[in-house]
Chain A
Amino acid sequence: MSFFEFVSVYWPRLLTGTGITVAQFFLSAIFAVLLSLAFGLMKMSSNRAVKGFAVTYIEIFRGTSLLVQLYWIFFVLPLFGVTLEKFTAGYVAIAMNTGAYGAELVRGGILAVPKGQWEAATAINMSPAKRMWRIILPQALVNMLPPWGNLMIEVLKGTALVSLISVADLMFQAKQINASTYLSAQIFGTALIIYYILARFMLTPFMRWLEAFMSRKLGKA
């Protein structure tokens, strides 16, 4: 079976799989950003309990594998009474894992904002919350966007793991088609190319655009 024949037969399944992958990616990415912000700020808190909680979360999720976390959330959490559907378990695991890495980026980005900015905001009588939201975070965001680009690629790659708890994403469809046809080179090759297109020609250019957009917004470019 030639490559084009192959694609013409199986494209609907590949397309639905890609759709699920993209959905998993967006949900994971959104929750990962929120978790990163929350835990990055908590890690900088002067309250030792808050800080300790954030450090524990970050160390646990950075110290173990995404796959272990995914299985734990999917198979063990129900024993504690929290049953997540497989689709939900998938993006929750990826988001929690990425959030731990992102929290460090948020912290690093905030620490890289010059001290004078903090002092100036205090001098014009801004409340700590307003200072963080209006002055520090926007500048921190520009500082940390380049590493976030890499992290987002990791999120996209991480979504392939949800196939192992039977979420019907691109990886899962590829595995299924492979099991029924044994056209391994065609199907896995096509899936690789789809992931590559998503990462290299959609995600990366978007992150580059976002970097340029944000620094223009801040009048840096």
Chain B
Amino acid sequence: MFDWLFTDDWFPKFDWRWDFAWEILPRLLEATLNTLIAAAAGYLIALVVGLFLALAQRTNYRTVTFAVREFVEFVRSTPLLLQIFFIFYVGPQFGVTLSPWVSGMIAIGLHYSCYLSEVYRGGIESVPKGQWEAATALNMSTLQTYKRVVIPQAIPPAIAGLGNYLVGIFKDTPMLSVIGVAELIHTANAIGSETWRYLEAYTMVGIIFLVLSLPAAGLIRAFEGFVRRKLGM
């Protein structure tokens, strides 16, 4: 495996070609846009569905609570890749054909909604019991209590977790390449099979991911501070 170290011509193997890198850059940037759209769309689905999954686990109906809990556990402990294949291929078997984009968004949105439901749950549970009692004392309905009292207080402690999963969903979008969503890895694969050059494309994809996800942690923290100030916490 390391015999290349002992030959004297190993350096030329590292033949990074700037002109080639420059040539494929527009395609990769276009794919970056698709990746960002996929991540954003999947995340929006996850934000909404996740909230419902979290609330469904707090109802008084034991069956609903149990079923949703098991569903969340199931989705969280099976691979996203397999779920993407499942949603993409099982539909046509029953006469529902979904495009790669639609099934990809459903799969990734559903997968992350299960993670987000746990974050919401933690946030809701962090709201002190006195807040619920005060809302009841003021004769608020359950819906009002959630909307006006509980959820606004549950969001700030949940932001760090929610933000981490936004970065997570962004880093999981490459899996959508397997059903033909033209995101970064799909494009890099295409470039590789057209030109037999893998070095530039895959390396640039890695750098694009780094450049986009490294500042994320700081941005999330800044956003958390902003929301806390807005809500006067």
Contact = CB atoms under 8 A, between A and B. Distances in A.
Interface of A: 59-60, 63-69, 71-72, 75-76, 79-84, 153, 156-161, 163-164, 171, 174-175, 178, 182-185, 188-189, 191-192, 195-196, 199-200, 204
21 contacts: A68-B174, A69-B206, A71-B198, A72-B206, A76-B203, A79-B198, A81-B4, A82-B4, A83-B1, A84-B1, A156-B79, A159-B79, A175-B85, A184-B93, A188-B86, A188-B90, A189-B86, A192-B78, A192-B83, A195-B79, A196-B77
Interface stretch (B125-133, B151-159, B207-215, B219-227): B207-215
Contacts of B4: 80-82
B22 interface: no
Contact of A76 (B2, B90, B177, B198): B198
A199 B82 CA distance: 14
Nearest to A159: B79
B119 interface: no
A195 B81 CA distance: 12
A195 B76 CA distance: 11
Q: Which 4 A-B pairs have the closest CB atoms?
A: A81-B4, A160-B79, A199-B77, A184-B89
Contact of B77 (A163, A175, A195): A195
Contacts of B205: 68
A188 B89 contact: yes
Contacts of A66: 171
B202 A71 contact: yes
A199 B175 CA distance: 21
B13 interface: yes
Given A81-B2, A157-B77, 11 more contacts: A65-B172, A65-B174, A66-B171, A67-B175, A68-B174, A81-B10, A159-B79, A161-B81, A189-B86, A196-B78, A200-B74
B199 interface: yes
Contacts, number: 132
Interface string B32-52: 000000000000000000000
B41 to A, nearest CB: 18
A83 B13 CA distance: 13
B192 A75 contact: yes
A192 B82 contact: yes
B206 A64 contact: yes
Contacts of A84: 1
Interface residues of B, number: 48
Interface string B43-67: 0000000000000000000000000
Nearest to A179: B89
B134 interface: no
Interface of B: 1-5, 10, 13-15, 73-74, 76-83, 85-86, 89-90, 92-94, 171-175, 177-178, 184-185, 188-189, 192, 198-199, 202-203, 205-206, 209-210, 213-214
Contacts of A64: 171, 206, 209-210, 213
B24 to A, nearest CB: 14
Contacts of A191: 82
B39 to A, nearest CB: 11
Contacts of B173: 65
Given A75-B192, A81-B13, A188-B89, A157 B206 contact: no
A61 to B, nearest CB: 10
Nearest to B78: A195
A75 B93 contact: no
A64 B203 CA distance: 11
B174 A174 contact: no
A156 B188 CA distance: 26
A81 B103 CA distance: 39
